[in-house]
């Protein structure tokens, strides 16, 4: 039985006041994991607030190296040192706006795992790729790039988030059928390596998840939770999503 996850991706939003508000109002999870990915500037505040709880805090992005002359960057080792437990990698906004190629994503992924954090690998196709029937090819290419760059491909203690680019921030979530179909294919892809991780690996769905669509998505076999952007900035809405995942 995979433990469900509800993860908040705050993107370049939030403030110390929002951190404080979440620390007061977020309902502590019972049967699911709750993770928050604030900006790097707000990591410490959330780590401190949730120190005594099961809620884990992660970074939205890190650079590939543990330290060095990389002005403006942070490393997975630094996130770990602050008390962070996870990091996102390969989010489509990073791929599209900040030039994170498959190769860079693979290097970042490895640096996160090497630092002892849990990487959450985001994959997903563009609208063009979906409309030209090459959605799975695109996702497979993103998965292969990471697996190839990795000495010992192994998904234990790692998470995949399927986030179709056309569903992110558009208000148009994938239907439960579309999300389930792709996430089933992702699970089969992982299974082909026959490493026994099939049943263990948690695959999240992300893209316009809200309190109103969480219940129908979470009942799908291969949807093990959510990566929530916009709706995660409102603690009441986020609590409702957590509630839908629990029940």
Q: Which is nearer to ligand PGA, 4 or 77 (CB)?
A: 4
Residue 37 · residue 8 · CB < 8 Å: yes
CA 186 centroid distance within chain: 15
- The whole-angstrom separation of Cα 51 and Cα 111 is 24
65 included as an active-site residue: no
The helix (H) or strand (E) run that includes residue 140 is helix 135-148
Contact between 153 and ligand PGA per CB under 6 A: no
For 111, the token pair is: 């640096």
Residue number with the shortest CB distance to ligand PGA?
Answer: 229
Q: Which is nearer to ligand PGA, 146 or 241 (CB)?
A: 241
Q: In the bound complex, what is the minimum distance in angstroms from residue 71's beta carbon to ligand PGA? A: 26
Give the burial class of 29: count Cβ atoms within 10 A of its Cβ; 0-12 exposed, 13-18 middle, 19 or more buried: buried
Say whether 161 sits in a helix, a strand or coil. Answer: strand
Contact between 168 and ligand PGA per CB under 6 A: yes
**Considering only 53-61, 142-150, 161-169, 187-195, which stretch makes contact with ligand PGA by CB under 6 A?**
161-169
Say whether 37 sits in a helix, a strand or coil. Answer: strand
Contact flags string 187-226 toward ligand PGA, x per CB under 6 A? -------------------xxxx-----------------
Residue 30 · residue 40 · CB < 8 Å: no
- The whole-angstrom separation of Cα 64 and Cα 106 is 9
Exposure string for 212-229, b = 16+ CB within 10 A, e = fewer: ebbeebbebebbbbbbbb
137 included as an active-site residue: no
Q: In the bound complex, what is the minimum distance in angstroms from residue 191's beta carbon to ligand PGA? A: 25
Residue of 4, 6, 8, 9 that binds ligand PGA (CB under 6 A): 9
- The whole-angstrom separation of Cα 124 and Cα 222 is 15
Contact between 163 and ligand PGA per CB under 6 A: yes
Contact between 183 and ligand PGA per CB under 6 A: no
Q: Which of 91, 93, 129, 237 is catalytic?
A: 91
Q: Which of 93, 125, 129, 163 is catalytic?
A: 163
Contact between 14 and ligand PGA per CB under 6 A: no
- The whole-angstrom separation of Cα 107 and Cα 150 is 8
Q: In the bound complex, what is the minimum distance in angstroms from residue 122's beta carbon to ligand PGA? A: 7
Question: Rounded to the nearest 5°, which phi and psi values hold at 183?
Answer: -70, -30
Contact flags string 62-91 toward ligand PGA, x per CB under 6 A? ------------------------------
Residue 91 · residue 9 · CB < 8 Å: yes
Q: Which is nearer to ligand PGA, 77 or 84 (CB)?
A: 84
Which residues are catalytic, by number? Answer: 91, 163
Q: Which residues bind ligand PGA (CB under 6 A)?
A: 9, 163, 168-169, 206-209, 227-231
């Amino acid at each position: 039985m995979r433990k469900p996850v509800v993860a908040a991706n705050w993107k370049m939003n939030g403030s110390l006041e929002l951190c404080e508000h979440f620390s007061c109002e977020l309902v502590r999870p019972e049967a699911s994991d709750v993770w928050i990915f604030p900006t790097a500037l707000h990591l410490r505040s959330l780590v401190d607030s949730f120190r005594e709880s099961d809620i884990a805090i992660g970074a939205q992005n890190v650079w590939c190296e543990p330290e060095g002359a990389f002005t403006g960057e942070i490393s997975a080792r630094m996130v770990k040192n602050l008390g962070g437990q996870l990091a996102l990698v390969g989010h489509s906004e990073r791929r599209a706006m900040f030039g994170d190629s498959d190769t860079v994503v693979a290097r970042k992924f490895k640096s996160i795992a090497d630092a002892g954090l849990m990487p959450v690998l985001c994959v997903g196709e563009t609208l063009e790729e979906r409309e030209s029937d090459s959605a799975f090819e695109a996702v497979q290419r993103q998965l292969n790039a990471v697996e190839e760059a990795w000495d010992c491909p192994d998904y234990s203690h790692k998470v995949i988030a399927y986030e179709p680019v056309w569903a992110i921030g558009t208000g148009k979530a994938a239907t439960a059928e579309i999300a389930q179909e792709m996430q089933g294919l992702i699970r089969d892809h992982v299974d082909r390596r026959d490493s026994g991780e099939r049943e263990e690996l948690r695959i999240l769905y992300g893209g316009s998840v809200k309190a109103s669509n969480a219940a129908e998505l979470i009942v799908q076999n291969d949807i093990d939770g959510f990566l929530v952007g916009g709706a995660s900035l409102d603690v009441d809405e986020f609590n409702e999503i957590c509630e839908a995942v629990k029940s």
